[in-house]
């Protein structure tokens, strides 16, 4: 047991030392960290905490696929446009799911703005329609990130607020330096029947970003919005304009995407 404190110390020393040899720094917003409450990526914010859309500083196209199983059947496919100037950001996205029951289409739009780089406010609206169950449903998520453009950040989101809030998410994130971010997020349903948490770490070493975390529940009366167990994510900057991303147990059980900068 005595080796555990030494191991933790060595990890922190290593992460701190990364900053000394980074050539051009990094960004804590290229990959989602934890559940994305306090440190979403510039694109995952649309699905996590919409306040994080303020981190968009250019025009980007994202195409992605996701699935709940390793056979990728059924497969959800999506595409969206993300844009912003680093203080105001927005996005429009569409996803489609086709299976043996029918077709489901989801349209999403989000907008966020930062007040003096201290408080970011965001809102996301989604419309879901399905020809298999005659569903036509509109819902909204709202979020805030305090200290949004600084090392220590606090995030909060209310999920599914139309017709009564479905759940809440909250988190804290800290940039150890330009190459490493620690985060802890928690979530619950509106009745506090399920409470979950997720510690996570992201490391950015251009052109590769890595993130990992572990989601757990301390009260589990209903399904948790967090995907339980270990999660990992990888980002690869192929160039300044092309970036690959993939997640396991984050955003979806399996998620892979390509981002293309248009300016």
Please provide the DSSP assignment of 21-40 as one string: H-SS---TTSS--TTSSSS-
| pLDDT level of residue 11 (50, 70, 90 thresholds) | very low
Residue 24 has pLDDT above 50, yes or no: no
Residue 23 has pLDDT above 50, yes or no: no
May I ask the CATH class of domain 3-261? mainly beta
Per-residue pLDDT, 82: 98
Residue 133 has pLDDT above 70, yes or no: no
Determine whether 100 is exposed, middle or buried from the number of CB atoms within 10 Å of its CB (0-12, 13-18, 19+).
Answer: exposed
Asked if residues 208 and 236 have their Cβ atoms less than 8 Å apart, the reply is: yes
| Structure confidence by residue, pLDDT tens digits, 42-73 | 999 999 999 999 999 999 999 999 998 888 88
Per-residue pLDDT, 49: 96
């Amino acid at each position: 047991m005595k080796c555990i404190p030494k191991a933790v110390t060595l990890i922190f020393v290593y992460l701190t030392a990364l900053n000394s040899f980074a050539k051009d720094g990094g960004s804590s917003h290229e990959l989602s960290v934890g559940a994305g409450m306090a440190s979403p990526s510039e694109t995952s914010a649309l699905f996590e905490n919409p306040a994080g859309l303020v981190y968009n500083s250019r025009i980007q196209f994202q195409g992605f696929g996701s699935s709940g199983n390793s056979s990728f059947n059924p497969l959800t496919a999506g595409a969206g446009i993300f844009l912003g100037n680093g203080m105001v950001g927005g996005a429009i996205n569409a996803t489609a799911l086709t299976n043996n029951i029918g077709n489901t289409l989801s349209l999403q739009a989000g907008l966020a703005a930062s007040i003096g780089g201290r408080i970011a406010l965001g809102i996301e609206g989604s419309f879901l329609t399905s020809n298999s169950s005659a569903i036509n449903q509109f819902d909204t998520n709202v979020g805030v990130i305090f200290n949004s453009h600084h090392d220590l950040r606090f995030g909060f989101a209310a999920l599914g607020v139309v017709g009564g809030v479905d759940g809440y998410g909250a988190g804290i994130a800290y940039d150890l330096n330009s190459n490493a971010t620690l985060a802890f997020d928690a979530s619950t349903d509106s009745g506090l029947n399920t409470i979950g948490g997720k510690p996570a770490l992201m490391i950015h070493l251009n052109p590769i970003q890595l993130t990992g975390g572990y989601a757990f529940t301390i009260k589990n009366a209903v399904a948790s919005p967090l995907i339980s167990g270990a999660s990992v994510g990888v980002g690869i900057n192929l160039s300044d304009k092309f970036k690959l991303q993939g997640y396991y147990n984050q955003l979806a059980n399996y998620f892979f995407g390509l981002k293309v900068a248009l300016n």
